[in-house]
Amino acid sequence: MNKDKRTAIYSTLRERMPSPTTELEYANPFELLIAVILSAQATDISVNKATAKLYPVANTPEAILELGVAGLTPYIRTIGLFNSKARNIIKTCGILIEKHGSEVPRSREELEALPGVGRKTANVILNTAFGEPTIAVDTHIFRVSNRTGIARGKTPLEVEKRLVRLTPDEFKKDAHHWLILHGRYVCKARKPLCGECPIVEWCEYKTKELP
C-alpha cells in the first residue's frame, strides 16, 4: 500500500471520528492503567462494569493496595483471569507507591516493569493517558492492518513497527483508536461489513488472505 492510500484511509477515519478515544472508562492515568490491565482477554464492557463498582471504593494505589488480593477479587471476579490480574494489580500498586510517588510513570521501560503490563498496555497508557504517538496492536488492529494492507506483519510487534514507520505523523496520535474502533465495529473478524466500510475503496482485502 502506498502513502496516498494510507493518507486517504486515515483522513477518512478522521472525518468520521475526529476525537477518538478508548471505550474504557477512567478519570485519570491510574484508573486507565488498572482498566487496561483488566482488559487483557476481556471486553471493555465487562471491565467498565467492574470498575464502576471498584473505583468509587478504591481508585488510588494506596486504596487498592489496602484492599489486598482478597478485597480486590470480588470486584473483578466477572473478568477473565481475575486471580492473576488481582495479584498483578496489588503488586503494581505497591511499586507505584514505593518507586513512583503513587504516579503512573511516563516511560515505556518503567511501565513495562510493572506486573501485568506488557508492551501493548504500555503503548495504550503512553498514547491515551499522555498523548504519545504510540500504536498499541491488539487483535483488532492486527486484523485490520493485515486485511487492509495498511501495515502487514506476522506478529503484533512487526505490525506495530510498520504502523509507526508508515503512518504519517499527523495521524500517529489517533491511529490506534481509529483502527481498533474500525476493527471492532466494521472490519469484524468473521463477517466484515465491507458494504458499510468508509475506506473500502483503498482496502486491499481479499477473502483468501483473511488473517
Residues 6+ apart with CB under 8 A from 189: 139, 143
Is domain 3-20+135-209 annotated with CATH 1.10.1670.10?
Answer: yes
Residue 205 pLDDT: 87
Max CA pair span of the chain: 54
Separation of alpha carbons 42 and 97, rounded Å: 27
Residue 1 pLDDT: 86
pLDDT tens, the chain, 211 aa long: 899 999 999 999 999 999 999 999 999 999 999 999 999 889 999 999 999 999 999 999 999 999 999 999 999 999 989 999 999 999 999 999 999 999 999 999 999 999 999 999 999 999 999 999 999 999 999 999 999 999 999 999 999 999 999 999 999 999 999 999 999 999 999 999 999 999 999 999 864 444 4
In this prediction the pTM is 0.88
Name the residue ranges covered by the structural domains of the chain. 3-20+135-209, 29-129
Catalytic annotation, residues: 120, 138
Residues 6+ apart with CB under 8 A from 29: 103, 104, 125, 129, 130
CATH number belonging to the domain at 29-129, selected among 1.10.287.130, 3.40.50.2000, 3.40.640.10, 1.10.340.30: 1.10.340.30
Residue 206 pLDDT: 63
Separation of alpha carbons 74 and 50, rounded Å: 9
C-beta separation of 5 from 201 below 8 A: no
C-beta separation of 38 from 79 below 8 A: yes
Residue 29 pLDDT: 97
DSSP of 151-174: S--SSHHHHHHHHHHHS-HHHHHH
